[in-house]
Amino acid sequence: MIKSQATDAFTPATVINVESRLVDEEWLKTKLCQMDLKDDVFNLAFISIILFNSGTGKVEVTPDGPQYLKSIGMLWFDSLPTATVIPTGPYIWHLGHIFKNSIEFDRYEAFESSFIPVPSRLYYDTPSSEKPLSGCRLAIKEIYDLKGVRTGCSVRDFLPLYSPPEESAFAIRNFIAYGAVIIGKTKTTQFASGEGSMDWIDYQCPFNPRGDGYQDTSMSSAGSAAGLAAYDWIDSSLGTDTFRSILWPASAHGLFGLRPTHKVLDNSGVLSLSEHLDTVGHFSRSVDSFYRLGDAWFNGTPQHKFQLPKRILFPSEFWKRYQTEYLASVVEDFVQDLEKALDVERVDYNIESEWASASLSPSHIPLKNYLATVSGLSFLQVKLLTLQQTLSTIQLYDCYHNNAKFRDDFPIVNGHPPYVNPMIRFKWKLGAQISRESYEEALQQKKIFHDFLSSNIFGPDTIMLLPVGAPWPSYRDTYHGVYY
C-alpha cells in the first residue's frame, strides 16, 4: 500500500467508506461515478489523496485499484486508522488531519458574506421519516436568529449592539432536527421593512439573476430569493412576509413562494416587523423541493383535510393591467390549464359586490373606502406611498414602535443616534404620526375583513387567482414613484 507523503500543503482528498469489502478497479469506477452524479462539490481534483475507511483500519485493495486511481490523478492512498465513521466525500488533508471544505463565491451579493461554505451532499444520509430534510441546504433570511451568530437586521449600527442569540429561531431548530443544513444568512431590507433597490445604503442590494441582471429584487426577502434563483447549490431558502415580502420576490425571481396563513407557523426567534401581519415562509425552484420543505415545516400544524378545489374565483378587475399583448395569452393559457387539471370552470368574481351584499355593519361603505383609512397622515403622504390600505396603518405604526428599544439603546452606548436608511427614517416619521386609536381602528378593520373573507368567500374547496408582480420590467436603478 502506498503510504502518505510528507507535506504541509492543504491538499484535496477523498474519504471512501469500504466496510469489509474487497476494493478493486471495477468497484472504484462505480463508486466514483455514483459520487460524481450525486454531489456538486466532489470532482476529480479531490482524488489527489484517497483515504479508505473500513472502521477497523484494515482495507484489502487489489493491485488494479491503485493503478486505476493513479491513472486519473491520485498521488497516494492510505487507510484511516480509526473506528470513527467518517462520511464518504471530499475533504481537505493537512498534516494528518482532514477538514470539510467547499467555498462558493456569492457573485450576486445575496448573502451577508461573500464566500459561503457549502457541504458535500455525500456527507448526509438519504432522507427518512425521522430526517425528511437530510442534507437539504437552506439559506435563511438575516432576521432569523441563528445560535452564536449576531442578528443585524441589515443595519450596521444594530449589528454590534446586541449579543449573539443563545438559541436559534424555533423554525431553524426544527429544520436542523429534520436534517437540514444552514449554509448562510441572506440580505434583507432594514428591519425587514420594504425598501426599493435604490434605497439601500448600509449594504448593497442583492442582484437579481433573471433577465438582464438589473431587475429589481423586490421587497425584504430579496437576498433569499436572489440567492436561490442564482445558485443551484442552494436547495431552498427561508423568508418572511409582512406585506408581500415572499410573494413579490418569488415573482421577480421566477420562484415558488409561500406566505402561509398568519400564525399557522411559529415565528419565535424571528425579528418582528408587525406581529399582526408577520409570517415565515419559504422559496423553492421546483415543485418537489417546495413540497418537501413545506411538508416538514407544516408537520403538526392544524390543517384542513386535503381536497382538490371545486371553485376557482377569478377577480377580473384585478387582472386588467396584465391584459397586455404578451401577458394576456400567458394568463389565459394558465387559467385554462388549471381548469382542465381540476375539471372546474372559473367564476368571474367581484369582491366589491360580495362585500356590498354581506350582512356586516360596515358593508354599506364601499370596500375601497373602508380599507383606505390612514389617519394622521396628510393626503399627499398617502398618495406618495400609495398607503390607501388599512394594513399600511398597522405596518407603519409597528415599524416605528417596535424599534423604540434600538433607538433608545444605541445613543446610551455610542453617544449619538443610530443611522438607518432614508426609507426607514421616512417610515418612522409616518409611524410616529399614527395615533393608538387609529392603530386600533385599523386592527378592527382587518379583523372584520378577515371574518368577511372566511365566512363569505374562502372555504377548503375554494381558491382565488390573484396577480403578483409587475407586468413590465422593473429596474433596480429606477423609482416608480417618490417611494414605493
Could you tell me the residue ranges of all domains in the chain?
11-99, 103-297, 351-464
User: What local confidence, expressed as pLDDT, does residue 374 receive?
Assistant: 44
Expressed in angstroms, the distance from the first to the final Cα of the chain is 68
Residue 265 contacts residue 298 (beta carbons within 8 Å): yes
pLDDT tens, N- to C-terminus, the chain (484 residues):
444 455 678 999 999 999 878 999 999 999 999 999 999 999 999 999 999 998 776 788 999 999 999 999 999 999 887 667 789 999 999 888 889 878 999 999 999 999 999 999 999 999 999 999 999 999 999 999 999 999 999 999 999 999 999 999 999 999 999 999 999 999 999 999 989 899 999 999 999 999 999 999 999 999 999 999 999 999 999 999 998 999 999 999 999 999 999 999 999 999 999 999 999 999 999 999 999 999 999 998 877 778 899 999 999 999 999 999 989 999 999 999 999 999 999 999 999 899 999 887 787 888 877 876 544 443 334 433 433 478 889 999 999 999 999 999 999 999 999 999 999 999 999 999 999 999 999 999 999 999 999 999 998 899 999 999 888 899 999 876 443 3
Pairwise CA distance, residues 396 & 40, whole Å:
44
User: What local confidence, expressed as pLDDT, does residue 367 receive?
Assistant: 82
Residue 91 contacts residue 99 (beta carbons within 8 Å): yes
Name the fold adopted by 103-297. Amidase signature (AS) enzymes (3.90.1300)
Grid cell at residue 461:
374547496
211: left (phi over 0), alpha (psi -120 to 50) or beta: left
User: What local confidence, expressed as pLDDT, does residue 107 receive?
Assistant: 98
Strands 103-105 and 22-23: unpaired
